[in-house]
Amino acid sequence: GVEVDEEANQSEQSDSLVIGFSQVGAESEWRTANTQSIQDAIADAGHELQFSDAQQQQQNQIMAIRSFISQGVDAIVFSPVVETGFETVLQEAKDAEIPVFLVDRAVDIDDDSMWVTFLGSDFVEEGRKAGRWLVDELADVEGDINIVELQGTVGSAPAIDRKEGFEEIIADHPQLTITQSQTGNFTRTEGKEVMEAFLRSDGDNIDVLYAHNDDMAIGAIQAIEEYGLKPAEDIIVIGVDAVKGAFEAMVAGKMNVTIECNPQFGPQLVELIEAHFAGEELPKRIAVEEDMFTMDQAADLIDSRTY
C-alpha cells in the first residue's frame, strides 16, 4: 500500500489559507494583469481564493467584504475603488479579527489599525514623473502650452494622486496650463469620448494630453486620429501604467511616453500574507518599484514586457 505521511499532510492543510479578494473591476489592461498576477500567486502557493469583481462600484465592494466576513475567510485582500466611505466595513472586518491587506489603492482613513499593510505604487510620484518628463521635453519650446487631462475614476487614489504629482511639477512652469480636465474612468471607451469632447471644444489649441492611464490614452489616440490630427506629433500623448497597448502605440509612433505602474505584485502579496500568519510584524506601507519608458525605447523593450 501507499504510505501516507499524515503529519506532513495535515500541516500542509493547516497552512493553506482561504483568501477573499475584492478587486476594483476589469476596467483596464493594468487591472486584468493585476487580477491574473494575484490569482496565480495565490493558487501557486496552495491557498484558496474567493474572488469578487466590483465593476468599479463601491457598493459591490462593501457587499463582497461583508460576505467574506460572514464566510469567515482567513484574510481579506482589498483594492478600494475610491478612497473614502469604507470605515464601517473595515471596522467590521477588524471586529471579526480578519486581517485586511490593502493592495494597489489606498483609503483615506487615519486609523491604520484597520489593515495589516498597504502594498501599492506611489501614484503621486508617477504624476511627478509625467510632469518632469514633459517639462524636459518642452525645455526648448517657447510660448504657452495647453494641456488636457483625462482623469481616472473620480475619488480613486490614483486619480487624486496622479493629478496632484503632475500639478506640483507644472506649477513651477507658468507657460504650462491644464485647460481641460475630466474623468474618463480609466477606460478606453470613456477616454475616447472625453477626448472627442475636448477636441470639439478646443481642438486646434491642444498641445498635450496627460492621461491617468494608458487605456484612456489609447482611446484618446483614436479620437485624435479621427479628428484629423497626428497623435504624438500634433498632440503629445502621455500615459501611465506601461501596459502592452502603450508599447504598441509607442512603436507605432502614436504615443510619447508611459510611466510604469507595476500590477504584478501577486507573489509579493502572498509573501506578505504568509509572513503575517507566521507572526511577522509588517511595515504599514510597502511600495512597488517602477520606471518610465519613451517612444525610442519601445521597440527594444516590447518583447520583454510581461503585461
The contact set with ligand GYE (CB under 6 A) reads 27-28, 30-31, 104-105, 158, 186, 213, 215, 240-241, 261
Closest distance to ligand GYE from the beta carbon of 97 (Å): 28
b/e burial code for range 14-42 (CB count within 10 A of at least 16 → b): eeebebbbbbbbebbbbbebbbebbeebb
Please, which residue, 20 or 245, has the CB nearer to ligand GYE?
245
Specify which residues 53 forms β-bridges with: 23
DSSP string, 233-270: TTBEEEEEE--HHHHHHHHTT---EEEE-----HHHHH
| Smallest gap from residue 288 Cβ to ligand GYE (A) | 9
Output the smallest distance, CB 27 to ligand GYE, in A. 5
Output the smallest distance, CB 240 to ligand GYE, in A: 6
Q: Select 89 or 240, whichever has its Cβ closest to ligand GYE.
A: 240
Q: Which residue has the cell 470605515?
A: 87
Asked if 106 contacts 90 with a C-beta cutoff of 8 angstroms, the reply is no
> What SS3 state is found at 29?
helix
DSSP secondary structure, 172-232, as one string: T-TTEEEEEEEE-TT-HHHHHHHHHHHHHHHGGG--EEEESSHHHHHHHHHHHHHTT--BT
SS3 content of the chain, % helix, strand, coil (to 5): 45, 20, 35
What's the closest the beta carbon of residue 170 comes to ligand GYE, in angstroms? 20
The enclosing H or E element of 51 equals strand 48-53
Which residue number, 29 or 207, has a Cβ lying nearer to ligand GYE? 29
CB of 239 to ligand GYE, least distance (A): 9
d(CA 265, CA 121): 10
| Nearer residue to ligand GYE within complex by CB, 179 or 182 | 182
Question: Which one, 17 or 24, has the nearer CB to ligand GYE?
Answer: 24
Q: Quote the least distance from Cβ 161 to ligand GYE, whole Å.
A: 10
